[in-house]
Chain A
């Protein structure tokens, strides 16, 4: 399926019909909620109630996760159809209609942190001839940097199209003053793999650990070394049923007298022999 960013600008793509899914499609809701919970975890907030931003807040599924954890939030989104769903869902957060690429309209130091779920890749697109993705990203990140306090983090789950896009986003964030980088959860799974851009406003700190990094090791089955090596060469194990059948086949082709293949061929003797 084509990436939604290529189909239409976000305010058009997230129409009433698309927005409906965010209140009705339970699989979609589950995924949004799961990613939001992970994003909040990556914010690494102290135990107190905080004042947070939800960037591309849409229907407020991500905002509800913030609420559930006792925080107060303000959400901003470019699609009024999505915001209508948030109103219907009766979210506690306050909502604004706005375009992240035009910069955030907030006072300095207002927020303790920010999350953004599946929205950032939209900023990498030029939907109008006047749009320059790098410039819009920079305007966005520098206004975000300004409106957060100096120990805050911003965590973006997003779908980078390729490594160039990841580089574009990260470099504009660094230019705006942030430290941080991309954390990749479940890097070895095509389905569960998730990208989180973790930005810190208060200086360099080590990036959080990704989830599910050891996936690959768990996948190894414990066959013996001998069997593994044989498999690699593509030949059946000596004295195995396959080996015997192959050998008999060869003898037949060579015209040598050969017993029929039966269900007993290659079976272990019971020891009474």
Chain B
């Protein structure tokens, strides 16, 4: 699971959960995989991100590095900044671990990098 995906994930499908965001991360195995940097994609996705969630998620698994606490102005033209975002968004991956619903405490396991979001019938 990349932090980009984590930034969009919620547990609101659970019965009784309203927002279900952000999900907590318990990481047992984290990998960093270099991928091609696409500045256009990163600039376009930034307005859609919840920045605090991204920063806290990265920090909680020890990969915030020198990611700024806030989006800088004129980020479209700041290649250094965009590269840092790219790294945290799509290069850092949680391979084994858990996601935790902030409202109910329900855990979703992550195996081989794939979060298991399947719900039991009585959770719907």
Chain A residues close to B by CB (< 8 Å): 48-51, 70, 72, 74, 76, 78, 80, 83-84, 87, 92, 94-99, 102-107, 109-111, 128, 130, 143, 147
Contact = CB atoms under 8 A, between A and B. Distances in A.
A105 B38 contact: no
Contacts of A97: 114-118
Contact of B8 (A84, A102, A103, A107): A107
A94 B2 contact: yes
Interface string B109-121: 0001111111101
A16 to B, nearest CB: 14
A98 B10 CA distance: 13
A72 B117 contact: no
B40 A96 contact: no
Contacts of B2: 94
Contact of A98 (B7, B40, B117): B117
A94 B4 contact: yes
18 contacts: A49-B38, A49-B44, A72-B4, A72-B45, A74-B8, A84-B112, A94-B2, A96-B114, A97-B116, A98-B118, A102-B118, A104-B13, A105-B9, A106-B8, A106-B10, A110-B8, A111-B8, A128-B121
Contacts of A99: 118-119
A147 B113 CA distance: 22
Given A106-B10, A110-B8, A130 B44 contact: no
A45 to B, nearest CB: 12
Contacts of B9: 105-107
B119 A107 contact: no
A49 B44 CA distance: 8
Contacts of A143: 13
A170 B35 CA distance: 39
Interface in B1-51: 1-2, 4-5, 7-13, 20-21, 35, 38, 40-41, 44-45, 48, 50
Contact of B121 (A106, A130, A147): A130
A93 B118 CA distance: 19
B121 A96 contact: no
A116 B9 CA distance: 19
Contact of A70 (B1, B7, B38, B117): B38
B70 interface: no
Contact of A48 (B35, B40, B113, B117): B40
Contacts of A70: 38
B13 A105 contact: yes
A96 B5 contact: yes
Most A CB within 10 A of own CB, among B11, B90, B117, B119:
B117
B124 interface: yes
Given A49-B38, A130-B121, A107 B115 contact: no
